[in-house]
Structure 1
Amino acid sequence: MSPSSSSPSVVLSTGHQMPLLGLGTYKLRGADEVSRAVDAALAAGYRAFDSAAVYRNEADLGRALRELLPKYGLTREDVFITSKLGPKDQGERAMEGALHSLSQLDLGYIDLYLIHWPGTQGLQVTDHQNPGNRAQSWARLEELHSQGKLKAIGVSNYTPAHMRELMQSCKIPPAVLQVEFHPRLCQAELRKVCADYGVCFQAYSSLGKGELVTDPVVVEVAKIYERTPAQILLRWAVQQGCPVLPKSSKPDRVQENARIFDFTVSSGDMDRLSALDCGHKYCWDPSEVA
């Protein structure tokens, strides 16, 4: 059984199915907090979980899944696990970094592994070693992909220029680009680049670090559909075919965020939300990375 049997999904260029809804685990720390969130997510129908080396919770996430999957009659193959290479391991330490993620999660393989950031920790963003380090990291991920340890590989926080550079040099194209995406940051150029190359465009920070849930337009649209502003923001993305990764440590919020597949926002209201686009980034800005 694939993750898609439990939740709506997209098909990646690898042929694997990735759920449109995943639990983001940024800032989830400690075995108890991670386990509570994973338990609530599995109960609510989540079948994808997103971690990263820099989140420092890969081991707790892996342990929670090993303990909780049987409770829901699920196996490892029923969930889709994403993790990411830390910027400190960009370049010659990429193999070591990826193998460490595999070991920490201890789930046999990782469904999707991303280069978390186009730069390298310790280098200036303008340092011209960055492109070489990215290329070296990608080559190592290609090796692990060929060995079946990483079922799909991709990138996060890449700009259109970084994407074009990668596409010109890679042997295996990225399956996913994960970036900040919400009505104030519609990423039109980046989405077109992904569409042209057959790369799945995945959203993070769909709520704009919580600031967008109080935007007057979002609040007004939410009232029309009798939904929460968070549900409207998540629906705005998935209705465009973009997978989302809402994060919460509160079980009721985790479950609430999952209720985004039983309604449709009209094209007019989708346009009203998209009209909020002003290019605003709440998170990291990779545009200066060489």
Structure 2
Amino acid sequence: MLLNSAQNNTEKQSDSVVLHNLQQHRIMFQSTASCLVFVTLVAGVLSDASTSTKDLKYELNNGNFMPAIGLGTSRITGADRVKDVLDKALAAGYRQFDTAAAYNNEEDIGNALEELLPKYNLTRNDIFITTKFSPWKQGENVTDALHDSLRKLKTPYIDLYLIHWPGAGAGVNKATANFTALRAERWQKMVKALKDGLVKNIGVSNYAVKHLRELLANDFGTKPAVNQGLWNPLYHPAELLELCRKEGILLEAYSSLGGTHDDNLLQNEDVKKVAEKLGKTPAQVLLRWAVQQNIAIIPKATSKQHLEDNLNLDFTLPDEDVSVLNGFPQKRNPFSEDTP
């Protein structure tokens, strides 16, 4: 089992300093030297490039902290491949790892972390694990699903546990399902898991505005800390971001680069022009676009170079370039928007 202690890494602040409270998410950088390094943020933009964004953390609405940049692991499967990618990620400085029951890699991630953490003089408390209850794969039993994830990941707690999708689970008659009641029951069980100490933070994924408003009206005393969803220059609904900021919910982006087998954004001429002008890669431009809005990101990568590049976001996108990216024609997200 991965090493554990009473204090989770989301609560350790002894070697860190809180810098700024901006848009309802305080931002913190870990000190890497004997003296603390202070920087200032102006409208969400780093003004001191000497402080690495790989140490950036957001304070969640419950006072816990979460790394702003994590490694997405969707479609990274197989014991050897998972171990190889996590080895390179830990070496590069990644401390957040995002998985899900639906990714079919929780067990391999648990085994890899158990072996690799000592190699880097790390313990369970030094990393942040996100996983997700996936209704279409696991049915509607949140409690059993959580215990299955805990077992596979070889950990006594999950740092962030998300409901992967607002739709009905496997075995539910979708034609007659009461989606509102199903979501409420799931959330009630998530809150119980939080109170029982099995998870440190809870949230949702792929929740559109209508789903979030429904949850907030009946949250059993606990708001979601995070809403993870599709977010990139081709899909960035302002109403969703505004609601999350108003309610103190951190928005976390997946598919920041366009998604698996979709390189339209990476090959976009406007993105490439910005990248060339700044001496960065198109991927770095797209990731910086999100971070500059105080949005957490979990880009997926498997090569050493891409893993390192995705953490190296210590630059600023000029306003005119942000405007170009913001102005891309918007797509729809049926997976989220069309779910009753």
- Once residues 263 and 287 of structure 1 are traced to their aligned partners in structure 2, the CA distance between those partners, rounded to angstroms, is 33
Matched, 1:11 2:40: no
Shift of residue 65 of structure 1?
1.2
Q: How far apart, in 1, do the equivalents of 2:224 and 2:176 lie?
A: 24
Does the 8 Å contact 1:25/1:50 carry over to 2?
A: yes
Give the conservation status (yes or no) of the 8 Å contact 1:90–1:134.
Answer: no
Match of 1:184 among 234, 251, 266: 234
Greater displacement, 56-65 / 126-135: 126-135
**Higher helix fraction (1 or 2):** 1
Cα displacement (A) at 1:126: 6.1
Q: Is the contact between residue 71 and residue 298 of structure 2 (CA under 8 Å) also seen in structure 1?
A: yes
CA RMSD of aligned residues (A): 1.7
**Distance (whole Å) between structure 1 residues aligned to residue 240 and residue 329 of structure 2:** 14
Paired amino acid for 2:331: G
Superposition pairs of residues 8-87 of structure 1, within 5 angstroms? 8-87=56-135
1:165 to 214, 238, 261: 214
Given the alignment of the two structures, is residue 212 of structure 1 paired with residue 261 of structure 2, yes or no? no
- Alignment TM-score, normalising by the size of structure 2: 0.80
**Hey, what does 2:192 align to over in structure 1?**
143
- Determine whether 1:229 maps to 2:277: no
For the Cα contact (< 8 Å) 2:95–2:126, is it kept in 1?
yes
Offset at 1:259? 1.1
Larger radius of gyration: 2
Runs of at least 5 residues in structure 1 that lack an aligned partner in the other structure: none
The one-letter amino acid paired with 2:63 is G
Question: Are residues 256 and 144 of structure 1, via their aligned partners in 2, closer, same or farther at CA, if it must alter by over 3 Å?
Answer: same
TM-score scaled to structure 1, two decimals? 0.94
Equivalent of 1:258 in 311, 328, 332: 311
Q: How many residues align?
A: 286
Secondary structure in 1 matching 2:217: helix
CA distance in 1, matches of 2:283, 2:327: 18
Instruction: State the 1:127 CA deviation.
Output: 4.7
Query: Does the C-alpha gap of structure 1 residues 201 and 126 become closer, same or farther in structure 2, counting only changes over 3 Å?
Result: farther
Conservation of the 8 A alpha-carbon contact between 1:125 and 1:289: no
Unaligned ranges ≥5, structure 2: 1-7, 11-28, 31-53
How much has 1:13 moved relative to structure 2? 0.9
Distance (Å, rounded) in 2 between the aligned partners of 1:83 and 1:169 = 23
Change (3 A) 1:141 1:227: same
> Is the 8 Å Cα contact of residues 126 and 288 (structure 1) preserved in structure 2?
no
**Are the structure 2 counterparts of residues 227 and 166 from structure 1 closer, same or farther at C-alpha, using a change threshold of 3 Å?**
same
AA in 1 matched with 2:188: A
Q: Are the equivalent residues in 2 in contact too, given 1:119–1:130 (CA < 8 A)?
A: yes
| Cα distance change on mapping 1:99 and 1:188 into 2, 3 Å | same
Is 1:101 matched with 2:149? yes
